[in-house]
Amino acid sequence: MLHSHIARVGHIVLGHELIASLEELHLIKKHRPRFNAVGKRQAFKHYIWLDPKKLQYVVSKKNHQKDHYLIGSFGSKRSALLCSDSLPEIPREFKSERSKKIWINRLLRKHEYPKKNLSLTVSGRTEGESCQVHIQGGLYQGYSFIGQGVEQFQREEYPDIKRLICSYLTKSKYS
């Protein structure tokens, strides 16, 4: 029975759906709960890369490909192949090298933060308090509550975090 495996139940007041989702992902990664499948992902073992010279997508187990652009990371080869099938078709020819770079940048922007340094402000836990999500150098740094004082939470970035924040930015028309 599930209830025999529960050590404790608690709640955290965070004030905004985005912050609650970020904290949920962090706690799931940290504690790896056995019965929580939501947000629980296996290690990323397969990657989709864009090879700009050959103008093709490459599915690989390598987490770094020289002169390639990372499109996404996946837990299985099957997931990576399914996603690569849904990516936009790469034009076989471009009018110029500039138009090729523009096309690649548009593709990559869909998977990146709109700015390298970004501070996103949302509602805090109480009235008069706000919460800021920090992106520096294109990497998620964590969030902080700002009210009477400043309370910061450092968090590591992983693909789920980037997808969540980019999705929120798209929905709220921030970008």
Tokens matching residue 1: 């029975």
Q: Where are the alpha helices (DSSP H) in the chain?
A: 17-31, 77-86, 97-109, 159-171
Give tens-digit pLDDT for 82-112: 777 777 888 888 888 899 888 888 877 766 7
- Residues 157 and 139: beta-carbon distance below 8 Å: yes
Please list, in sequence order, all residues whose beta carbon lies within 8 angstroms of the beta carbon of residue 100, skipping any fewer than 6 positions away. Answer: 52, 94
Spatial contact of 144 and 133, defined as CB atoms under 8 Å apart: no
This model's pTM is above 0.75? no
Please compute the mean of the pLDDT values over residues 116-135 and round it to a whole number: 91
Closest CA to 25 of 160, 133, 153: 160
Give the residue, 93 or 5, on which the prediction is more confident. 93
Look-up of token digits 């296996």: 42
Secondary structure class of 62 (helix, strand, coil): coil
Does the pLDDT at position 77 exceed 70?
yes
